[in-house]
């Protein structure tokens, strides 16, 4: 059935009416001050008048450290060390790696304080409000004691080597003997020479034919024997050990 001309005209008006309404709602240029139009045309920032600044308090620190082996409050006297095969009581004296927990969720003061100290490197962050650091120099124990007295520090302790391992890899160590591909995260304070030595040492453990298996952020080891996991965890050049993703 053919539509009449009147019907077609009504449908057309209904279809185009919203577009006409929107176009009429456009703010005319005359309503924008001339100086602002000039700034906009130049792509410059515009100062907002009557802006207000609001303060929002940070959350309070929970006191808990959420480690790969579980959450705990170190003030309770318990720190999860991991399985016996992954415990090294001489680790701190060899690597200088430690955990520092901040009193406040605002860690700015603690970070600034640590960065002012010689022979201290910040390696990583652990929730809540904790850092993994390395204490260098000859007298690590004395520096450890000094840091424990900082006003910003709630607790400091040695880094258990099992914390470097992902939980699936620890389980794999006890349940399998088959070789496995792993990723290692080097510590961020390594020099170019130390990174080159790490690359050389890890190449002996990998079946990869590549000359370079490590860069500043990742080492990829193919077909690693799981019996070597504890030795890698003891290595102070390594921060984390994880199962390599399968693409």
Give the start-to-end residue ranges of the domains of the chain.
65-163, 165-243
From CA 86, how far away is CA 229, in angstroms rounded? 8
Q: With a cut of 70, say whether residue 247 has pLDDT above it.
A: no
- The yes-or-no verdict on residue 4 having pLDDT over 90 is no
Cα–Cα dist 169/180, whole Å: 10
| Cα–Cα distance measured from residue 233 to residue 82, given in angstroms and rounded to the nearest whole number | 12
Q: Residue 179's beta-bridge partner residues?
A: none
Question: Which helix (H) or strand (E) is 206 found in, with range?
Answer: none
Integer Cα distance of 181 and 224 in angstroms: 6
- pLDDT given at position 199: 95
pLDDT, residue 53, reads: 74
Q: Which of 157, 158, 101 is nearest to 129 (CA)?
A: 101
Residue 8 has pLDDT above 60, yes or no: no
Quick one: what percent of the chain has pLDDT higher than 90? 69
DSSP 8-state class, residue 132: E
227 contacts: CB under 8 Å, gap ≥ 6? 173, 177
Q: What is the mean pLDDT of the chain?
A: 85
pTM: 0.76
CATH architecture of 65-163: 2-Layer Sandwich (3.30)
Label the pairing between strands 153-158 and 219-224.
unpaired
Estimate to the nearest angstrom the gap between the alpha carbon of 227 and the chain centroid.
28
């Amino acid at each position: 059935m053919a539509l009449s001309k009147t019907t077609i005209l009504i449908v057309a008006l209904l279809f185009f009416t919203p577009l006409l309404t929107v176009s009429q709602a456009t703010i005319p240029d005359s309503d924008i001050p001339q100086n602002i139009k000039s700034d906009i045309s130049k792509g410059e920032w515009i100062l907002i008048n009557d802006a207000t600044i609001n303060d929002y308090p940070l959350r309070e620190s929970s006191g808990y450290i959420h480690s790969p082996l579980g959450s705990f409050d170190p003030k309770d006297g318990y720190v999860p060390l991991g399985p016996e095969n992954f415990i090294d009581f001489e680790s701190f004296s060899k690597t200088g790696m430690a955990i520092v927990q901040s009193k406040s969720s605002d860690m700015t003061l603690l970070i600034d304080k640590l960065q002012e100290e010689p022979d201290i490197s910040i390696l990583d962050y652990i929730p809540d409000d904790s850092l993994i650091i390395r204490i260098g120099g000859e007298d690590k124990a004395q520096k450890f004691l000094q840091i424990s007295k900082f006003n910003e520090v709630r607790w400091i302790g040695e880094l258990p080597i099992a914390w470097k391992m992902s939980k699936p890899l620890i389980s794999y160590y006890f349940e399998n003997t088959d070789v496995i591909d792993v990723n290692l995260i080097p510590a961020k304070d390594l020099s170019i020479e130390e990174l080159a030595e790490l690359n050389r040492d890890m190449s002996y453990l990998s079946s990869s034919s590549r000359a370079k298996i490590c860069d500043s952020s990742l080492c990829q080891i193919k077909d690693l024997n799981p019996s070597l996991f504890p030795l890698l965890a003891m290595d102070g050049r390594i921060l984390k050990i994880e199962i390599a993703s399968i693409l």
